[in-house]
């Protein structure tokens, strides 16, 4: 039976290898490196569609056309990314940024998931610790002998896993 | 017909009100006639809401433009197929549709359990009628779909107006999926009312045991399957219609549908702890409450205009009603919990940290953290504006950065959880179960690296996908091997028998496999490419292995719109593989435009072409082409998730066999079938 499992695992591995060769996307280096696109991904289209500036091409959106033109002009000035983005903030306000800025009150947006995870993790670990404490024995009930319990566990293991 | 619809809605409201009143009195007096009367009143709501819905549909199909709702969302040239979509395209119709689906669920529950669970069902009936009453209040008094166009004359008499034609349907909604996506999503939202009603009713009635959990499980799975299908159909609609090359933009409407799905998924897992071990009773009750509240919160967010969305088609000042309802529901739930919390006392005990129970706890933690991350990101712009006075955006980069690691951890648990035994997993069992999958996963990672998969997240995603797939395959293989040894059948039919003997467990594995495929598809997004170009006739645009040549472009008038389209020849390796016709449609009725993306989809990648219009100066067509790898795997995975859920809902064959008469004479020679029933102890994980 072990041989069959090995055969199965080998089959999966060969399948995965063939799949990878066929489906592997082109390496990232082959992508176009368009500076404007990189900056555009950090901005939101101000037409209220809540989409990334470079992704907003929904029909009739006049706002993204103007913003993309401005983006080209800003990039042509060859300034740093931060300066280019600053030019958009000056015109449209903080709302133009695709992510909340990590300063001041807005930093909280970044903290919430982490805090939720940490709090949840502490709670789960506490619960596990609490639940693992042996429950008080019933005074008048017969105690189960550990060897019988162990035998029962082994039997359950055999029956459920093999 | 509008009067008929209005009247039916009003009567439905009265029936729901009566169902609550009579139900409460019946619970107090235990009067069987009153219990029956309350139930029948609840059943009648369904018929009445159906009648109202049928009359609205009739108004649409007969182009009755004296109806304000029909005039605002339809026109004569709108194809009948899209008149179905027009039904729920606005606030009033979508709320009526909500009531319709809810009333069908309520009818099914009240009818199916009419002679069962007499202690519990009156409570369930009251809770369900309460939820129905809220939506029927909106239908009747806040957003009535049967309003007539007209104005009062100086003499006080009402003068009705009938428009010659309507304003037409939003072009974004004129896509086939809009006829099936909202029904699926709404069936998910409304479906979560059933487990909510059972949970609250069990708490109020202090219903003994885990019975309500067994009763609700299938309803939760049905709602979950609809919600999953609705989310994916919505993603596909966004992909094919919005024309931005993606399927998920973390838009508030998308987030609103994802949040109850996440808590619903957590419930479907943690409920097993209660079924198997009687644990987590308080947690499960609050998960059900939260799921229902998130459904209502999502509806509030998308309809109130609190957050802006490209998907929101029905914004109005209805928000305060939903806020009020959320407050009422939360108050009732908290009160019921505080009054009856001793009923939820359970004997929680864990034998080991390495056990199925622990994995469920972590699974719930991760799903809840994902929900909190999505909720906080969706609401943060409102909070920031409220506190700081300036509005900020929380766009896809934030959600991706936060949720990708969470999703990958969840994928890891998808592989680990089913391999852990209840109570305690021995070290030997760990080695045996995890060795093979781990080796395969790491080997796949090592193979992928030289092939160019070097970004951290896609690489980890691939490794985890292989890990989970191998664990699932091994689970099927191990079970099938036992059956094969006893029955002599081949491994595939043994796997089939195995699945049918424990549909819940193996259906669950099928769902997990579907999720793996979805993750593979999502991984492809890391390698998306796009190119935009002004194309003169005969010019070519190269993207990936494809070359697009503009053969022609034309304008053709259709009944409901005028289409401007590009005719593109697609070449791969210097041979023509197909023609694509991306177009842009202009709808005369409402003077709006829409895109019709052309997609050449393969398992490897999608060639996604958008006709972005013509340049103003030279009138040259502008083509925006995207190469999106592995997208098809998402839709494939989604279909498998839904199929897996259906499979898990089917009764196990084992149970059917157990019901056979015991008096059957066992022949001397043991038949394969009798041997099969003897293997029943194999199931240990579920």
Residue with the larger pLDDT of the pair B107 and B303: B107
Looking at chain A, the whole-number percentage of residues with pLDDT higher than 90 is: 14
**Which residue in the set B365, B396, B470 is minimally distant from A120, CB to CB?**
B365
Which of chain B's residues have a Cβ under 8 Å away from the Cβ of A157?
421, 426, 429
- The mean pLDDT of B660-683, rounded to a whole number, is 41
Residue B72 lies in a domain: no
pLDDT at residue B686, as a whole number: 40
**Residue A8: pLDDT band with limits 50, 70, 90:** low
Q: Residues B677-684: contacts with CB within 8 Å, 24+ apart?
A: B678/B486, B679/B482, B679/B483, B679/B486, B680/B501, B680/B654, B681/A159, B681/A160, B682/A159, B682/A160, B682/B479, B682/B482, B683/A160, B683/B501, B683/B502, B683/B505, B683/B654, B684/A156, B684/A159, B684/A160, B684/A161, B684/B421, B684/B422
pLDDT at residue B617, as a whole number: 79
Give B183 to chain A, closest Cα distance, Å: 24
CA dihedral sign, ordered B326, B331, B334, B335: negative
A18 contact B CB<8A: no
Is the pLDDT confidence value at B194 over 60? yes
**Residue B652: pLDDT band with limits 50, 70, 90:** confident
Element (H, E) at B163: none
Is the pLDDT confidence value at A13 over 70? no
A127 contact B CB<8A: yes
Residue B477 and residue A113: Cβ atoms within 8 Å? no
Q: In whole numbers, what is the pLDDT of chain A averaged over residues?
A: 74
Which of chain B's residues have a Cβ under 8 Å away from the Cβ of A8?
473-474, 477
Structural domain spans, chain A: 29-99, 103-136
Residue A116 and residue B246: Cβ atoms within 8 Å? no
**Residue B97: pLDDT band with limits 50, 70, 90:** very high
pLDDT at residue B296, as a whole number: 94
ipTM: 0.79
pLDDT at residue B1, as a whole number: 66
**Which residue in the set B242, B252, B402 is minimally distant from A58, CB to CB?**
B242
Give B369 to chain A, closest Cα distance, Å: 6
Is the pLDDT confidence value at A29 over 50? no
Is the pLDDT confidence value at B653 over 80? no
Which of chain B's residues have a Cβ under 8 Å away from the Cβ of A17?
444, 447
Interface of A with B in 72-91 (CB under 8 A): none
Q: What is the pLDDT of residues A39-66, one digit of tens each?
A: 888 898 888 777 888 877 665 677 888 8
Residue B440 and residue A9: Cβ atoms within 8 Å? yes
Residue with the larger pLDDT of the pair B630 and B349: B630
pLDDT at residue B208, as a whole number: 74
Distances (CA, A) of B641 to B177, B202, B244, B560, B633: 19, 30, 26, 37, 12
Q: In whole numbers, what is the pLDDT of chain B averaged over residues?
A: 88
Which of chain B's residues have a Cβ under 8 Å away from the Cβ of A159?
681-682, 684
Residue B575 lies in a domain: yes
Count CB pairs under 8 A between chains A and B.
Answer: 228
Q: What is the pLDDT of residues B314-327, one digit of tens each?
A: 556 788 899 999 99
pLDDT at residue B42, as a whole number: 93
Three-state SS sequence of B74-99: CCCCCCHHHHHHHHCCCHHHHHHHHH
pLDDT at residue B104, as a whole number: 97
Residue B250 lies in a domain: no
Q: What is the pLDDT of residues B414-430, one digit of tens each?
A: 998 888 888 877 788 88
**Residue A144: pLDDT band with limits 50, 70, 90:** low
Is the pLDDT confidence value at B392 over 70? yes
Is the pLDDT confidence value at B563 over 50? yes
Give A132 to chain B, closest Cα distance, Å: 5
- Least Cα distance to B394 among B261, B249, B293, B246 occurs for B249
Residue B347 and residue A135: Cβ atoms within 8 Å? yes
pLDDT at residue B515, as a whole number: 96
Which of B254, B393, B545 should one mutate to test binding to chain A, selecting the residue with the greatest count of A CBs within 10 A? B393
Q: Chain A: residue nearest B370 by CA?
A: A113
pLDDT at residue B423, as a whole number: 80
A150 contact B CB<8A: no
- The mean pLDDT of B539-545, rounded to a whole number, is 93
- Lowest-confidence segment of A130-134, B79-83, B228-232, B360-364 by average pLDDT: A130-134
pLDDT at residue A160, as a whole number: 55
- The mean pLDDT of B514-535, rounded to a whole number, is 92
Full residue range of the structural domain in which residue B540 is found: 527-633
Residue B395 and residue A98: Cβ atoms within 8 Å? yes
A63 contact B CB<8A: no
Is the pLDDT confidence value at B464 over 90? yes
- Lowest-confidence segment of B168-182, B257-271, B533-547, B638-652 by average pLDDT: B168-182
| Cα–Cα dist B26/B37, whole Å | 9
Q: Write the DSSP string, B3-64.
A: HHHHHHHHHHHHHHHHHHHHHHHHHHH--HHHHHHHHHHHHHHHHHHHHHHHHHHHHHHTT-
Give B51 to chain A, closest Cα distance, Å: 37
pLDDT at residue A145, as a whole number: 65
Residue with the larger pLDDT of the pair B128 and B216: B128
pLDDT at residue B314, as a whole number: 56
Q: What is the pLDDT of residues A92-139, one digit of tens each?
A: 888 899 999 888 888 999 999 999 999 999 998 888 888 876 655 555
Three-state SS sequence of B336-403: HHHHHHHHHCCCCCCCCCCCHHHHHHHHHHHHHHHHHHHHHHHHHHHHHHHHHCCCCCCCHHHHHHHH
pLDDT at residue B685, as a whole number: 38
**Which residue in the set B373, B451, B610 is minimally distant from A24, CB to CB?**
B451
Q: What is the pLDDT of residues B581-619, one digit of tens each?
A: 999 888 887 777 888 899 999 999 999 999 988 887 788
Residue B315 lies in a domain: no
| Cα–Cα dist B441/B446, whole Å | 9
pLDDT at residue B364, as a whole number: 94
pLDDT at residue A28, as a whole number: 38
| Cα–Cα dist B682/B88, whole Å | 49
Residue B38 lies in a domain: no
Which of A99, A132, A158 should one mutate to test binding to chain B, selecting the residue with the greatest count of B CBs within 10 A? A99
pLDDT at residue A32, as a whole number: 36
Q: Are B178 and B85 in contact (CB under 8 A)?
A: yes
Which of chain A's residues have a Cβ under 8 Å away from the Cβ of B384?
100, 105-106, 109
Residue B121 lies in a domain: no
Which of A25, A107, A110 should one mutate to test binding to chain B, selecting the residue with the greatest count of B CBs within 10 A? A25
Residue B537 lies in a domain: yes
Residue with the larger pLDDT of the pair A134 and B340: B340
pLDDT at residue B196, as a whole number: 96
A41 contact B CB<8A: yes
How many domains does the structure of chain B reveal? 1
Residue with the larger pLDDT of the pair B19 and B251: B19
pTM of the entire predicted model: 0.86
User: Using the 8-state DSSP alphabet, how is residue B535 labeled?
Assistant: -
pLDDT at residue A135, as a whole number: 56
């Amino acid at each position: 039976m072990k041989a069959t499992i090995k055969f199965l695992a080998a089959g999966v591995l060969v399948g995965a290898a063939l799949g990878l060769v066929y489906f592997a996307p082109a390496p990232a280096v082959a992508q176009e490196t368009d500076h404007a696109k990189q900056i555009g991904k950090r901005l939101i289209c101000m037409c209220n569609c809540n989409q990334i500036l470079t992704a907003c091409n929904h029909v009739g959106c006049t706002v993204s056309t103007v913003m993309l033109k401005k983006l080209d002009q800003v990039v042509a000035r060859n300034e740093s990314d931060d300066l280019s983005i600053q030019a958009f903030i000056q015109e449209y306000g903080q709302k133009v940024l695709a992510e909340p800025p990590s300063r001041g009150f807005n930093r909280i947006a970044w903290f919430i998931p982490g805090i939720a995870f940490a709090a949840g993790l502490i709670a789960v670990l506490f619960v596990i610790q609490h639940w693992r404490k042996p429950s008080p024995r019933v005074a008048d009930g017969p105690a189960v002998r550990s060897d019988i319990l162990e035998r029962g566990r082994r039997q359950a293991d055999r029956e459920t896993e093999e | 017909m509008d009067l008929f619809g209005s009247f039916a809605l009003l009567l439905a409201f009265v029936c729901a009100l009566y169902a609550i009143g009579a139900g409460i009195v019946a619970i107090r007096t235990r009067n069987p006639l009153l219990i029956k009367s309350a139930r029948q009143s609840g059943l009648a709501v369904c018929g009445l809401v159906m009648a109202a819905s049928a009359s609205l549909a009739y108004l649409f199909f007969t182009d009755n433009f004296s109806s304000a709702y029909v005039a605002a969302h339809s026109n004569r040239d709108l194809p009948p197929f899209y008149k179905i979509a027009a039904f729920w395209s606005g606030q009033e119709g979508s709320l009526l549709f909500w009531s319709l689906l809810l009333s069908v669920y309520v009818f099914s529950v009240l009818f199916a359990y009419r002679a069962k669970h007499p202690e519990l069902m009156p409570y369930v009936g009251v809770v369900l009628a309460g939820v129905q009453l809220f939506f029927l209040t909106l239908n009747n008094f806040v957003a009535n779909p049967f309003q007539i166009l007209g104005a009062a004359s100086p003499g006080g008499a009402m003068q009705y107006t009938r428009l010659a034609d309507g304003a037409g349907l939003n072009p974004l909604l004129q896509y086939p999926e809009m006829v099936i996506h909202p029904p699926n999503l709404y069936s998910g939202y409304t479906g979560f009312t059933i487990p909510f009603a059972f949970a609250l009713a069990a708490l109020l009635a202090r219903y003994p045991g885990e019975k309500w959990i067994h009763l609700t499980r299938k309803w939760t799975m049905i709602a979950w399957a609809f919600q999953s299908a609705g989310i994916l159909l919505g993603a596909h609609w966004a992909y094919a219609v919005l024309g931005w090359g993606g399927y998920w933009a973390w838009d508030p409407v998308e987030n609103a549908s994802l949040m109850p799905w996440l808590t619903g998924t957590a419930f479907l897992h943690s409920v097993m702890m209660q079924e198997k071990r009687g644990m987590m009773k308080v947690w499960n009750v609050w998960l059900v409450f939260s799921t229902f509240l998130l459904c209502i919160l999502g509806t509030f967010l998308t309809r109130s205009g609190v957050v802006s969305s490209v998907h929101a088609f029905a914004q109005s000042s209805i928000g305060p009603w939903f806020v009020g309802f959320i407050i009422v529901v939360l108050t009732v739930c908290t009160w019921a919990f505080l009054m009856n919390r001793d009923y939820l006392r359970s004997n929680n005990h864990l034998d080991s940290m390495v056990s199925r129970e622990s994995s469920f706890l972590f699974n719930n933690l991760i799903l809840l953290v994902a929900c909190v991350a999505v909720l906080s990101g969706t609401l943060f712009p409102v909070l920031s504006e409220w506190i700081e006075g300036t509005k900020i955006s929380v766009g896809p980069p934030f959600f991706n950065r936060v949720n990708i690691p969470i999703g990958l951890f969840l994928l890891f648990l998808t592989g680990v959880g089913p391999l852990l035994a209840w109570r305690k997993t021995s070290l030997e069992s760990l080695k045996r179960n995890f060795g093979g999958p781990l080796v395969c996963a790491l080997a796949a990672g090592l193979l992928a690296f030289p092939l160019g998969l070097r970004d951290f997240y896609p690489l980890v995603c691939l490794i985890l996908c292989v890990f989970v797939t191998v664990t699932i395959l091994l689970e099927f293989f191990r079970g099938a091997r036992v059956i094969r040894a006893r029955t002599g059948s081949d491994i595939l039919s043994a796997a089939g028998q195995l699945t049918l003997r424990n549909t819940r467990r193996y259906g669950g594995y099928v769902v997990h496999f579907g999720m793996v495929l979805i993750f593979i598809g999502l991984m492809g997004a890391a390698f998306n490419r796009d190119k935009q170009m002004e194309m003169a006739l005969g010019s070519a645009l190269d993207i990936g292995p494809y070359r697009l040549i503009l053969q022609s472009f034309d304008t053709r008038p259709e009944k409901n719109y005028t289409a401007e389209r590009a005719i593109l020849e697609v070449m791969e390796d210097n041979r023509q593989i197909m023609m694509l016709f991306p177009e842009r449609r202009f709808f005369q009725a409402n003077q709006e435009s829409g895109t019709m993306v052309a997609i050449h989809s393969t398992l490897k990648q999608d060639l996604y072409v958008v006709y972005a219009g013509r340049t103003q100066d030279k009138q040259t067509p502008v083509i925006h082409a995207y190469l999106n790898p592995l997208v098809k795997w998402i839709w494939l995975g989604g279909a498998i998730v839904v199929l897996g859920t259906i499979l898990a809902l089917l009764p196990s064959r084992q149970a059917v066999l157990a019901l056979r008469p015991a008096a059957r004479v066992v022949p001397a020679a043991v038949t394969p079938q009798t041997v099969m029933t003897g293997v029943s102890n194999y199931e240990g994980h579920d």
